[in-house]
């Protein structure tokens, strides 16, 4: 599980980073809003922890940009101020949870665990398509025996494509099946994640397995 932490106060960033690493998470730290935005929108993380007051861009601005692309990945806000207004603004902008500073590390760790908890998967469930193999229990993906590192959303998208291998899937079907939307959020989140997935599935000498059918949808090819 990969976590992005955007926090400008070095002592706090260091304290959180060390704690989370000790819990077994891979942690990337950004110290300003610009770097934080670039990393957050890369699609590489399973959870974001954002401080609100940052140089460059605020945590709320990062959150708003991120939510245009990804409605589901959990985001926890660190709020230095105790005003109710900040929390409401954060939750309205799509935060999953917030934690007021100062906090005990254990409290943050418990909130991270709660956000990352996933529904149980059937045991030993393996699915595959062409050169791609996925273990839904271990949440691992291989192509031609090479392990690929996918974010939680990319993983769910690929699993959905494999379960419907060979079928043409519309953007609406993917929004509903992978993101759980029953309405069109009016963003290009599907296209963005298809692009992420293509990049991760790219192997030298191997064809792109995702076929785009203009204004119709996507289909997985057996390559």
| Residues near Ca ion (CB under 5 A) | 8, 51, 53
DSSP string spanning 44-90? --SEEEEESS-SSS-HHHHHHHHHHH-SSS-EEEEESS--HHHHHHH
Minimum separation from the CB atom of position 8 to Ca ion (A): 5
To Ca ion, the closest distance from the beta carbon of 53 in angstroms equals: 4
β-pair partners for 143: 132, 146
Rounded to the nearest whole angstrom, what is the least distance from the CB of residue 54 to Ca ion in the complex? 6
Longest dimension (CA), the chain: 56
Using CA atoms in the order 93, 98, 101, 103, what is the torsion angle rounded to 10 degrees?
A: -170
Q: Is 60 exposed, middle or buried (0-12, 13-18, 19+ CB in 10 A)?
A: buried
Name which of 11 and 84 has its Cβ closer to Ca ion. Answer: 11
- Closer residue to Ca ion in complex, CB, 36/217: 36
Element (H, E) at 146: strand 146-148
Q: Could you tell me the smallest distance in angstroms from the CB atom of residue 68 to Ca ion?
A: 23
For 176, list phi and psi in degrees, rounded to 5. -75, -45
Question: Would you say 33 or 217 has its CB closer to Ca ion?
Answer: 33
Minimum separation from the CB atom of position 27 to Ca ion (A): 17
Closest CB 45 distance from Ca ion, rounded Å: 19
| Beta-bridge partners for 126 | 135
Q: If 0-12 CB within 10 Å is exposed, 13-18 middle and 19+ buried, where does residue 122 land?
A: exposed
Q: Which residues pair with 211 in a beta bridge?
A: 219
Residue nearest to Ca ion (CB): 53
Of 34 and 144, the one with the shorter C-beta distance to Ca ion is 34
């Amino acid at each position: 599980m990969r976590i992005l932490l955007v926090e400008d106060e070095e002592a706090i960033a260091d304290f959180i980073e060390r704690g989370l690493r000790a819990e077994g998470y891979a942690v990337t730290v950004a110290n300003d809003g610009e770097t934080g935005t670039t990393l957050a929108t890369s699609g590489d993380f399973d959870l974001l922890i954002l401080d609100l007051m940052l140089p460059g861009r605020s945590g709320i601005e990062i959150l708003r940009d991120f939510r245009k692309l990804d409605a589901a990945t959990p985001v926890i806000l660190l709020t230095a101020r105790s005003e109710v207004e900040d929390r409401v603004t954060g939750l309205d902008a799509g935060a999953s949870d917030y934690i007021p500073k100062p906090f005990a590390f254990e409290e943050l760790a418990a909130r991270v665990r709660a956000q990352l908890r996933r529904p149980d998967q059937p045991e030993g469930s393996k699915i595959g398509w062409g050169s791609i193999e996925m273990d839904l229990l271990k949440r691992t993906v291989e192509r031609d025996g090479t392990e690929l590192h996918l974010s939680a959303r990319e993983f769910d998208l690929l699993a959905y494509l494999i379960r419907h291998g060979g079928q043409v899937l519309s953007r609406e079907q993917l929004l509903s099946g992978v993101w759980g939307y029953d309405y069109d959020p009016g963003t290009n989140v599907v296209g963005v994640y298809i692009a992420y997935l293509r990049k991760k599935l790219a192997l030298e000498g191997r064809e792109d397995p995702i076929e785009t059918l203009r204004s119709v949808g996507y289909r997985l090819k057996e390559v």
